[in-house]
Amino acid sequence: MTAVNLLDFDLDGLADFCAQLGEKRFRAVQLMRWIHQRGEADFERMSDLAKSLRGKLAGVAEVRALPVISEQRSADGTVKWLFDVGAGNAVEAVFIPEDDRGTLCVSSQAGCAVGCRFCSTGHQGFSRNLTTGEILAQLWFAEHSLRRAGAGRGGPDPRVITNVVMMGMGEPLQNYAALLPALRVMLDDHAYGLSRRRLTVSTSGVVPMMDRLRDELPVALAVSLHAPDDALRDQLVPINRKYPLAELLAACQRYLERAPRDFITFEYCMLDGVNDTPAHARALLALVSAQGPVGRVPCKFNLIPFNPFPKSGLRRSSAERVQAFAQILIDGGVVTTLRKTRGDDIDAACGQLAGEVQDRTRVHERLVRMPLPAAARSRPDAIGGGHEGG
């Protein structure tokens, strides 16, 4: 019989499992603390558990970590791990240290079926959803390995990871059933104790699941926007053909009714000659203004440098063009930030995570059929840009 992986359970699930063993709920709380707060996987070391319970667990349960294929460290302190999830698939997680926080970028799928034009993961295709345990195993390993390496911030709080962003490989909201219990564990005070403001789910715009997350567990939300109109977004973010901008923005407004922050973060990858002109910036302002398709959407824009990869057919916008674009948005009254590229020397920057994916979706055939945005198509030097700047 295959042992049950306790990383697959939130507190209620762990309590149900303990009940099946004839144990009370407080045993689930003890287990949660040992596993997630202390990083313990050996039941015999869980000293305040009854010996009888430790014996029961040894026969039916385990804390199943993901095998680590590789660990890479960037010159800027960023750390990237490649985890084996079986059947030839591997996923990546990235730790980004800063003076006032430590952020872990977590994957939710082996590959991604959305197929955004500018994303290396999307070009790898899609194999399968990760389980709750595989999502949490990334955080479990990163937190406790970093602690053992002495990366703690000092003081009474031993946590190294203070923020989690579901921005790794995959579209989190297309793996909602596994995502939700994982988020609950991240928020649980008996586990990682993150606040909802410090836990961010990023989505390309899966509108029905945005509404479910709003109703069930509204954490901070980031939306991959990348274009100010449907015609361009259809090419860059193909899910827009199913959930166009008016529907997406209306879902953002609904989400804000219960969100822990009073704004939506719109991610915008800056693509040279494709979506980075002053006209695009002005169109973005109009899109989220009171005169937009759904009225005003309280938001901030996060402008992201494109990190080129082979066969993308796209190039990074110049720093001057990005600054001019940002200034138009700022002058229009919208908070705008420029994302600092971190870990690009180890391919850990935004859009570079690819892992190893046994594609089941024939992604390369789909991308051949998908036309390049007109501006990129008209520039022969944009094709096959390689790892320029990264």
Q: What is the set of active-site residues?
A: 92, 350
Pick the closest to residue 243 from 173, 189, 192, 154 (CA basis).
173
CA distance 28 to 9: 10
Q: Is 317 left (phi over 0), alpha (psi -120 to 50) or beta?
A: beta
Closest of 235, 236, 378, 363 to residue 304, by C-alpha: 236
**3-state DSSP assignment of residue 5:** strand
Distance between CA atoms of residues 267 and 336, nearest Å: 10
Cite the DSSP H helix spans in the chain: 11-20, 25-32, 51-60, 120-124, 132-148, 176-187, 207-216, 230-236, 245-256, 278-287, 319-331, 363-369, 374-377
Sheet holding 220-224, edge to edge: 68-73, 79-86, 89-98, 101-105, 163-166, 199-203, 220-224, 264-270, 299-305, 335-338
Measured distance CA(379)–CA(150) in Å, rounded: 49
